[in-house]
Amino acid sequence: MNVTVTGAAGQIGYALLFRIASGQLLGAQTPVRLKLLEIPQGVKAAEGVALELEDCAFPLLSGIDIFDDATAAFDGANVALLVGARPRTAGMERGDLLSANGGIFKPQGEAINAGAAEDIKVLVVGNPANTNALIAASHAPDVPTSRFTAMTRLDHNRALTQLATKAGASVTDIQRLAIWGNHSATQYPDITHATIGGRPATEVVDDQAWVEGEFIPRVAKRGAEIIAARGASSAASAANAAVDHVHSWVNGTPEGDWTSAAIVSDGSYGVPEGLISSFPVTSSGGEWHIVPDLEIDEFSRGRIDASVAELGEERDAVRSLGLL
């Protein structure tokens, strides 16, 4: 399998590539060829990472190619992890960020359209991830939009640990947690359908003030908390979530449970069709499915609508920049 990773010389790339090469992404039976994409200034560092990958003598790693050209990097790709993005810097407005990233994700979408394998699966990690995925998908008209996803698995994993800690339970006791909306501070981590050890999480926790005042903001702003503590944004946990996302996509989700991923909306739950929004999802046969028929209470409705409204604004902004 050809796995293309963009931003390969960055900090997430450094945490991600070794896990892919060791077989944790696609399984212990699947040899992997890595195709690394960097900007020209990043190529030398990517070559250094490739030297280290060689030094691991991973039995499943069948080769490494390094590119500064998107068309070549995505040629034949079965899985594409779009990590490289333009980070927000001081004084940069949201519009500037969207415009700079449009300059990255438009040509990458075109390159995926031109040469990726029939079964291509794309995960966008680089922020703003949902809207970057939308831009890439809209420039790949021959690839089903369902193959373009954005990462909210890190938010999901963050929520699992916060809830488990509050309940004095293990993360493995928790099922049916969900992240809705944008991978941003407006996201809605939802415990209303979750169970802990088979009991409703809302009953086990029985503390709505904690849910609203601590749990939701802690999960939604965890990225900023990591940046403040580490002096750099999350990297190993982001790489871990990317591995989890693709692993679930390829291998399916366990019976009776679901996970969270940002996928194209079919209009479910009032999320406008075409937006790439996080939903509770299951995976089977290499396809994501939005969990149907969940009851959405009034509090959840307001939170979902707010995050989805932000996604709509981002879409309108990139549309007005001519990026869709």
Ligand X SMILES: NC(=O)c1ccc[n+]([C@@H]2O[C@H](COP(=O)([O-])OP(=O)(O)OC[C@H]3O[C@@H](n4cnc5c(N)ncnc54)[C@H](O)[C@@H]3O)[C@@H](O)[C@H]2O)c1
Ligand Y SMILES: O=C(O)C[C@H](O)C(=O)O
Nearer to ligand Y, 57 or 229 (CB): 229
What residues between 125 and 154 interact with ligand Y by CB under 6 A? 127, 154
- Secondary structure (DSSP) of 218-249: HHHTHHHHHHHHHSS---HHHHHHHHHHHHHH
Judged by CB under 6 A, the residue of 87, 95, 144, 213 near ligand X is 87
**136 interacts with ligand X by CB under 6 A:** no
Stretch of 9-17, 52-60, 197-205, 207-215 contacting ligand X, by CB under 6 A: 9-17
Least Å from the CB of residue 207 to ligand X: 27
The DSSP secondary-structure symbol of 305 reads H
Specify the DSSP element, H or E, that contains 65.
strand 61-67
* Side-chain half-sphere exposure of 32, counting CA atoms within 13 A: 27
Instruction: Report the alpha-carbon distance of residue 131 to residue 101 in Å, rounded.
Output: 9
Which of the 8 DSSP states describes residue 181?
B
Span of 78-86, 174-182, 220-228, 298-306 interacting with ligand Y by CB under 6 A: 220-228
Query: 183 catalytic, yes or no?
Result: yes
Would you count residue 42 as binding ligand X (CB under 6 A)? Answer: yes
Nearest approach in angstroms of CB 85 to ligand X is 4
Q: Which stretch binds ligand X (CB under 6 A): 83-91, 156-164, 195-203, 213-221?
A: 83-91
Q: Determine how many CB atoms are found less than 10 A away from the CB of residue 63.
A: 11
Name the catalytic one among 183, 193, 245, 289: 183
Q: Exposure pattern of 153-181 as b/e (b: 16+ CB <10 Å)?
A: bbbbbbbbebbbebbebeeebbbbbbbbb
**Residues at the site binding ligand Y, with contacts judged by CB under 6 A:** 127, 154, 223-224, 226, 233-234
Residues contributing to the annotated binding site for substrate:
88, 94, 127, 158
Residues contributing to the annotated binding site for NAD(+):
7-13, 101, 108, 125-127
